[in-house]
Amino acid sequence: MDFVNPGLVYGLYAAGLTVFGVLYTFSLKKAGLKPLCALWTVLFGTVLAVVCARLFFLLPALAFGGAPWDFGYFVSLRADEMSFTGGCAGFALGAFLAAKACREEVKPALDTMAVPGCLLVAFARLAETGIGYVNMGEMPSFLPAAWPFAVLNGWGLPELSVSTLSALAALLIALWLQLEGKKTAVPGIRFEKAAWMLCAVQLFLEMLCTTSSWIPFVISFIHYEQVLCAVILLAIMIRRTVITKKAGPLILTVLMIGLNALMQFVQDKPYLFPLPEGTDLATLSVVVFALTSVGLVAAWILSERAQSPSCGTSSKGI
């Protein structure tokens, strides 16, 4: 399955890149950096986002024998056979290469990209509502059964658009970063915070998906996109732990990711975990998944405080 509404998809992608490019240009100029870096970021980022989105989708497909060994399949650009998290990683790599090409300091340039980048994620997530049968969940009664909160499934029935919730989360993260401003002198931390929050929230939202691309799982029951988010979260926190010498946030991160995985195992094999009579497993799961994301936000706050100048942590090597 490919585009259901190509006009919506391409229109939102184009609008997102335009908004990103304009805001990033002005942000770079305000920060005393080269505005041309925004143009190269859009060019490099778009190409690498597509490449990495396809590559990270293919990895589990090849590993678990679900993909045909066919060149046409490898270079396919089907919209529902892409990894969103992989695409974000590719775009960030493009921003890194653009800063290098413009001979700018990478970390300040990435920090300047944090808010525009979150807005681009919001546009891209909303564009998913025009793609085939992906990122749908059970429609709750308190939301209107109409776009953008609902999309129609193959039988013409409305289902929850988890992509819309992801877009709203990205907008809230952008607002948080904007209101917070650049309160820290530590380079790179603003970009890391944006990436951390996006992954922490998506770790929860992925669990609302009952339908995704044709290979949404890895290790039987864990969503593949969640695995990518977890890897990014661990990589960021391990790096920060090496710098701050404070292991508490890393331990909390591992516990929250582990609890999330354990709850998925309970969902997959409830007969192995006898729960008190009358327990609503679906409700319990949502609560636990939400709490793990809250715990990940708390881990970031603890790590950020440990790295603040008032705590005596050096910013060297950040």
Percent of residues, the chain, with pLDDT higher than 90 = 47
Asked if the structure places residue 149 within a domain, the reply is yes
**Mean pLDDT over each residue of the chain, to the nearest integer:** 84
- How does pLDDT run across 47-77, given as a tens digit for each residue? 999 999 988 888 877 776 566 666 666 777 7
- Taking residues 313-318, report their average pLDDT: 43
Asked if the structure places residue 278 within a domain, the reply is yes
pTM of the model: 0.86
Q: What pLDDT does residue 212 have? A: 52
Asked if the structure places residue 39 within a domain, the reply is yes
- pLDDT of 34 above 70: yes
- Taking residues 4-12, report their average pLDDT: 84
Q: Which residue has the higher pLDDT, 97 or 318?
A: 97
Asked if the structure places residue 316 within a domain, the reply is no
- Taking residues 202-230, report their average pLDDT: 73
For 273, the domain range is: 6-311
Asked if the structure places residue 317 within a domain, the reply is no
- Give me 159's structure tokens: 């289902």
Confidence of residue 312 (pLDDT cuts 50, 70, 90): very low
- How does pLDDT run across 258-311, given as a tens digit for each residue? 999 888 888 878 888 888 887 788 888 889 999 999 999 999 999 988 876 555
Number of domain units in the chain: 1
Q: Which residue has the higher pLDDT, 96 or 222?
A: 96
Asked if the structure places residue 226 within a domain, the reply is yes
Asked if the structure places residue 42 within a domain, the reply is yes
- pLDDT of 190 above 80: yes
Asked if the structure places residue 1 within a domain, the reply is no
